[in-house]
Amino acid sequence: MEDAVDRNRLPVRRATLEDVAREAGVSLATADRVVNQRDGVRAKTVESVRRAIAKLDYRANPAAARLARGQSFRFAFILPSSTNAFMAGLMQQVRRISDWLEPQNAFIDILQLDVFDPEALASGLAGLAEHFHGVATVALDHPKVRAAIDDLVARGIAVVTLVSDAPTSRRAHYVGIDNPAAGRTSASLMGRFLGGRTGKVGVVLGSMSLRDHVERLYGFQQVLSGEYPGLGLLPALEGRDQSERNEAAAAKLLAEYPDLIGLYNIGAGNEGIVAALEAAGRPLVFIAHELTEATRRGLLSGTVAAVINQDPGHEARSAARLLMAEVTGEPILLDQERIRIEIFLRDNMS
């Protein structure tokens, strides 16, 4: 009853290193050296161990390896000091992931830096090599930041970029969405939702110096002007991701353009825009980023037509898994780590 399975039928047990050693006629230690690609083994011996491995279809038991190595790890997560609803959610998810990390002897520190200031970010990263085995950072594509990342990597620190990439750096992975594609997705939705109508479409973003914002804008423009000639794209307004500024910007657009029929907020601070739209009471297709309290309410009320989202829980878990994989050398399942451009309407808001 305890064990209902007929164990006789089971491929009862995978081959162990000991089986491999016996099969190859060498000791455990030698087999281990081959498995872990350490040198100090004659080529012929390596060959015979390799054959044994292949013959027995040996795969190391990760639990045993971890136990034996008994390493412990320390990771830093670098998040922006100026926070918004999305970043707050991300931080919460990063905190939660330590429940998964700690039992594996891995510990995280969350450091808040001004990630929008290249100097500040670069110098913040600079001191990390002595204290951490891995770093996940909201990055910036800037020479100084790249240099800081490359320096960490050169010192053997595992680095992944989070949400915002430094593509030219030597970071092991970027954990975040494809921003130009997100902009194109938004434009396709906008164009489809406006179904042949003509009028103006406004865009609000945090700043023209934020790479991910500019990339989204680029993708948005590309599709909107290429495929929806009836829609006039207005110059993008910078709201610094601040609710109040965004509210003013939206109000201004509404006032200036009676034929404004679409609005895309590329960055944060959606509360302000929702407020402006609801105050004006004019129907208009508004597309926002990130599923937060404000955008959820907007979806429900109808003020927000669609939300483009990246799942912060997925991002936190993915960053943690990738860092662990880097430092332990364990394999990863790449498609599990691809962060999707999610589209939420009221009905699949989950």
Number of chain residues interacting with a second copy (CB under 8 A):
67
Tokens of residue 337, six digits:
């780590």
216 binds a second copy (CB under 8 A): no
Reduced to 3 states, what is the DSSP secondary structure of residue 265? strand
Q: What's CA 155's distance to the chain center, in Å?
A: 24
What's the min distance (Å) between Cβ of 317 and DNA? 23
List the single partner that 181 binds among a second copy, DNA, none, CB under 5 to 8 Å by kind: a second copy
Does residue 43 touch a second copy according to CB under 8 A?
A: no
Cα angle, residue 336 at apex, residues 156 and 216 outer, rounded to 5°: 85
Indicate which of DNA, a second copy, none lies near residue 279 (CB less than 5 to 8 Å, by partner kind). Answer: none
CB of 35 to DNA, least distance (A): 5
Residue 197's binding partner out of a second copy, DNA, none, with CB under 5 to 8 Å set by partner kind? a second copy
Q: Does 197 bind a second copy (CB under 8 A)?
A: yes
CA dihedral 59, 63, 64, 70 (to 10 degrees): 130
Q: Report in angstroms how near the CB of residue 31 gets to DNA at its nearest.
A: 8
Nearest-approach distance from CB 251 to DNA, in angstroms: 59
Q: Note whether 331 binds DNA by CB under 7 A.
A: no
Looking at beta carbons only, is 35 or 129 nearer to DNA? Answer: 35
Asked if 26 touches DNA (CB under 7 A), the answer is: yes
| Cα separation of the two ends of the chain | 40
Which of 28, 208, 300, 349 touches DNA by CB under 7 A?
A: 28
What is the helix (H) or strand (E) element at residue 202, kind and residue range?
Answer: strand 199-205
Query: With contact defined as beta carbons under 8 Å apart, do 267 and 204 qualify?
Result: yes
Q: Is the dihedral of CA 208, 213, 217, 218 positive or negative?
A: positive
The amino acid at residue 178 is: D
For 304, the 3-state DSSP assignment is coil
Contact between 255 and DNA per CB under 7 A: no
Amino acid letter, 334: L
Q: What is the DSSP letter of 206?
A: S
Structure token digits, residue 86: 């999305």
Q: Which is nearer to DNA, 17 or 157 (CB)?
A: 17
Least distance between DNA and beta carbon 104 (Å): 11
Quick check: 134 and 157 in contact, CB under 8 A? yes
Helix (H, G, I), strand (E, B) or coil at 288: strand
From the list 283, 289, 286, 290, the residue with the least C-alpha distance to 263 is 286
How many helices and strands in the chain, by DSSP H and E? Answer: 14, 12
Report the nearest approach of a second copy to the CB of residue 36 (Å): 14
Give the nearest distance from C-beta 27 to DNA in angstroms: 3
Asked if residue 167 binds a second copy (CB under 8 A), the reply is no
Say whether residue 70 binds DNA (CB under 7 A): yes
Verify binding: residue 41, DNA, rule CB under 7 A. yes
Stretch that binds DNA, among 57-65, 148-156, 237-245, 272-280 (CB under 7 A): 57-65
Put the strands of the sheet holding 73-80 in their side by side order. Answer: 106-113, 73-80, 134-137, 158-162, 173-175
> Which of 103/258 has CB closer to DNA?
103
Contact 52, 25 (CB under 8 A): no
235 binds a second copy (CB under 8 A): no
Specify the residue, 61 or 301, whose C-beta has the smaller distance to DNA.
Answer: 61
Q: Report the partner that residue 223 touches, choosing among DNA, a second copy, none (CB closer than 5 to 8 A by kind).
A: a second copy
| Residues found near DNA in the complex (CB under 7 A) | 13, 16-18, 25-30, 32-33, 35-36, 39-42, 44-45, 58, 60-61, 64-65, 67-70
